[in-house]
Amino acid sequence: MLIDYETLKFIWWILVGALLIGFAITDGMDMGVASLLPFVGRTDDERRVVINVVGPHWDGNQVWLITAGGAIFAAWPDVYAAAFSGFYMAMLLVLFALFFRPLGFDYRAKIDDARWRRVWDWALFAGSIIPALIFGVAFGNLLQGVPFHLDEMLRAHYEGSLLTALLPLLNPFALLAGVISVAMLCMHGGVWLQLRTTAPISERVKGAITLMGLVAVLGFVLGGVWIAYGIDGFRVVSQPAPGGVSDPLAKTVVMEHGAWLAIYSKVPLSMLAPAIGIGGPLVTILLSRLNRPGLGFVTSALSVAGIIGTAGLSMFPFIMPSKTHPGSSLTVWDATSSHLTLTVMFWVVVIFLPLVLIYTVWCYRRMWGKVTLDHVQTHGHSAY
């Protein structure tokens, strides 16, 4: 079956968004757990319990990030090139932080020394909270627009030097988005921790879920107000037919007040995303307090999808807007690969994604159960 080019472009916007949400729900959960590690684990054995909750799955979950990066490279090569150029220092910071995760998981138990293990506990904390913060900061900068332009060869050029590229990214709105990201993932990881552990950890983590959930909601609402009254969005004035050959420079774009909110009046159903982003954490907090972490994990996952989905829907069809040269902005319609590439990749996803999901569910099912203090104390050789 041959799918028309315009439809394929839209399908790949959905698929890339789904991959990013899948990464946030799975590996973001692991990052949230590790970010809470020094605070909910009071003793070495308790911290070993926390680590063993995510230890068997963290590396498989991180594949979602690699897959999302590969999908962006193949489906949106212009976005991949422009993003990896402009966010180079930020991505290096994320990469270096991620180095601590495999080292922390693998080396923590090598030496039976409290100071050694404490160092790796904080390494796991840093290797989780820094990427969570930077990913949120990246979304915050995309909503404000990125200072780049495309030349006639479609090469991206940025203002400023490489050494000073990181500091402008850390602006107030972007940092707010980073705080939302950290709070959202810590709440999500906290619910998973409550589901997979017993007292005292499962009781202690309730406070963290409540705090992080409230921070996520308040930050999300504040971010929405900030976008409504303080940040200009982008709007396409004219462009070639969406089903035509991709050419990012063949359109006219303007920045105007309220443009990021236009979709919610045009497509009222899209209001579900911010509604879930606000209501989801509040319901998660309630379910956590009622000792229903299973349902709480579902609502927490929906919260993650709602918050990320709100950002994606607000920006649609923009993927990477340019605040210095709006006409160079990259959109769903003009930053994509060829029709043939998108078609081949689509059928690869249709065939292999269900297999990956089935295998992932099987792994979790096989290793399901509570992780207890008795377990890590009795099976020291198999615990982190």
Q: Provide the pLDDT for residue 301.
A: 97
| Residue ranges making up the domain that contains 21 | 5-382
Percent over 70 (pLDDT), the chain: 96
Q: pLDDT, tens digit, for every residue of 27-73?
A: 999 999 999 999 999 898 899 999 999 988 888 888 888 888 889 99
Please, are residues 263 and 309 in contact by the beta-carbon 8 Å criterion? no
Give CA–CA dist 26/138, Å, rounded. Answer: 19
Number of domains comprising the chain? 1
> What pLDDT score was predicted for residue 160?
61
**3-class secondary-structure state, position 233:** strand
Are the C-beta atoms of 363 and 60 separated by less than 8 Å? yes
Q: Which of 1, 22, 31, 5 is nearest to 241 (CA)?
A: 5
pLDDT digits (tens, 9 = 90+) for 292-328: 999 999 999 999 999 999 999 999 999 999 999 999 9
Q: Which of 131-140, 161-170, 196-205, 371-380 has the lowest mean pLDDT?
A: 161-170
145: left (phi over 0), alpha (psi -120 to 50) or beta: left
One-character DSSP codes across 38-93: HHH--SHHHHHHHHHHHTTTHHHHHHHHHHHHHHHHHH-HHHHHHHHHHTHHHHHH
Please give the DSSP secondary-structure letter assigned to residue 290. T
- Give residue 69's identity as a one-letter amino acid code: G
- Cα-based distances in Å from 282 to 191, 212, 221: 13, 10, 13
Query: Could you give the CA distance from residue 259 to residue 254 in angstroms, rounded to a whole number?
Result: 9
Segment 146-161 mean pLDDT: 81
Rg (CA), the chain: 21
Q: Exposed (0-12), middle (13-18) or buried (19+): which is 255, by Cβ within 10 Å? A: middle
* Segment 195-210 mean pLDDT: 94
Closest by CA position to 159, among listed 147, 171, 151, 167: 147
Pairing label, strands 252-257, 232-238 = antiparallel
Does the pLDDT at position 131 exceed 80? yes
Which phi and psi (to 5°) does residue 258 adopt? 80, 5
234-239 long-range Cβ contacts below 8 angstroms, 24+ apart: 234/145, 234/259, 234/260, 234/315, 234/318, 234/321, 234/326, 234/329, 235/259, 235/262, 236/317, 236/331, 239/331, 239/333, 239/334
Asked if residue 147 lies in contact with residue 321, where contact means CB atoms within 8 angstroms, the answer is: no
Nearest to 129 by CA among 178, 172, 199, 91: 178
Task: Choose the weakest-confidence range: 198-207, 237-246, 283-292.
Answer: 237-246
Using pLDDT thresholds of 50, 70 and 90, give the confidence band for residue 162.
low
| pLDDT for position 371 | 85
State residue 380's pLDDT score: 63
d(CA 54, CA 31): 9
Average pLDDT over the chain reads 91
Identify whether the C-beta of residue 73 lies closer than 8 Å to the C-beta of residue 80.
yes
* Confidence check: pLDDT of 166 > 80: no
